Copies of this chain bind each other. A is one copy, B any other.
Amino acid sequence: MPQLSDRGLALPFSPYRKLTPYADAAKARGVHVLHLNIGQPDIETPPTMLAAVQQAQIRVLEYSPTAGYPSYRHKLAGYYQRIGMPVVADDILVTTGGSEALLFAFMCCFNPGDEVIIPEPFYGPYLGFAEATGVRVVPVPSYLDEGFRLPPIEELAARVTERTRAILICNPNNPTGYVYRRDELAQLLQLCQQHDLYLLSDEAYREFCYDAEFVSPLQLPGAAEHVVVLDTISKRYSACGARIGAFVTKNKALYQAAFKFAQLRVSPPGLGQLFAEAAAELPPSYFDHTRAEYRARRDLVLQRLRAMPGVECPTPSGAFYIMARLPVDSAERFAQWLLEEFSYQGRTTMISPAAGFYATPGAGHNEVRLAYVINQPAINAAMDCLAAGLRAYPGRVPQPTEAEVETSQSA
């Protein structure tokens, strides 16, 4: 039997995968599963995108240019410029989803053994891309009780070593919903300038900021050599299946290196680019409705969660995720129990244990990520299940509430 590679063995399965068999079994038992576990939006994909593909006259579906169709790159540059990001078509390498932009960044910015600093918790697949490319992830903890704000810059500076090559952020953040402030981004960029680091900015959720202003580090003075924006149309236009993203940088040497990796796969998906090109022409007002809907859902989830005894959650300013601390022994056991042993009015809910977003063992063991990508009646039903589940769960931990703590301290 031939051997598997070390990276093939070491690469973790997606944490989502662990719970899927339990969800499938629940469905087989006739339980309706309300999915708060994955970031697959339910908002309608703009019909103009599909129309663009359906009206296209294509005799031969040829390779597109390696960097993407010029027409799409120009329109995408127009989108960035309309929202104040100084991007021209030549800065854009169209990728097969945001994930390929991540792969190119890991391939081009790091040698095996190099290190990337990432505020924790973070999007789980970052660990996989690091494993695949031999890169060591150095987490810097952010905390639920602090709203998952960027840790003090000294915390990041203290983790810079001779092997550090980049800081990777997700802004707005998946899973925390935190939106980095301009002054935080300026501190990060300054640290990168001091140590010749790349600043990798995953901006998949850029358009979903509710009570904070979105700032890209690419908008800051001195960004050109350091900043790479990793982008995708997946969340912005509810178009996850198109697999169209972008690697955006003004660092020409880095762009050329990424371009060579892009040449290996010849071109990004052609039909998906036609689809994306139609989206790039949508006016900024297109997002008004979607943003209002997500904001209303966020507010609903927060209101419902905060009415549950022992549940704590900060207010996320962006993306479509909420991190919550639950009064349970283990969020993984609770999530499995909800699927395996529990139902309420014929329904249950599937949630993401936060452990999959932490590299530090044990961190976030009683936290979950909730994705508000289902409509408000469904959210209410899922919250009913969650509340009832928390009351019934045998592993509930009767942690004192803050009020009780205060009372006991003053006693």
Q: Which residues of A contact B (CB under 8 A)?
A: 1-9, 11-14, 17, 40-45, 49-50, 53-54, 56, 58-64, 66, 96-97, 99-100, 103, 107-112, 114, 125, 128-129, 132, 134, 165-166, 192, 196-198, 225-226, 238-243, 251, 253-254, 257-258, 260-261, 263-272, 275
Contacts and interface: CB of A to CB of B under 8 A. Distances in A.
When A and B form their complex, which 3 residue pairs have the shortest distance between CB atoms, in order from nearest? A241-B270, A8-B257, A99-B265
A161 B257 CA distance: 32
A6 to B, nearest CB: 5
B257 A11 contact: yes
A173 to B, nearest CB: 18
A112 B109 contact: no
Given A60-B238, A243-B96, A5 B257 contact: yes
B61 A132 contact: no
Contacts of A166: 2
B263 A241 contact: no
Given A64-B241, A269-B242, A50 B40 contact: no
A128 B241 contact: no
A131 B317 CA distance: 42
Given A6-B111, A240-B266, A242-B271, A225 B63 contact: no
A129 B196 CA distance: 28
Contacts of A243: 96, 265, 267-270
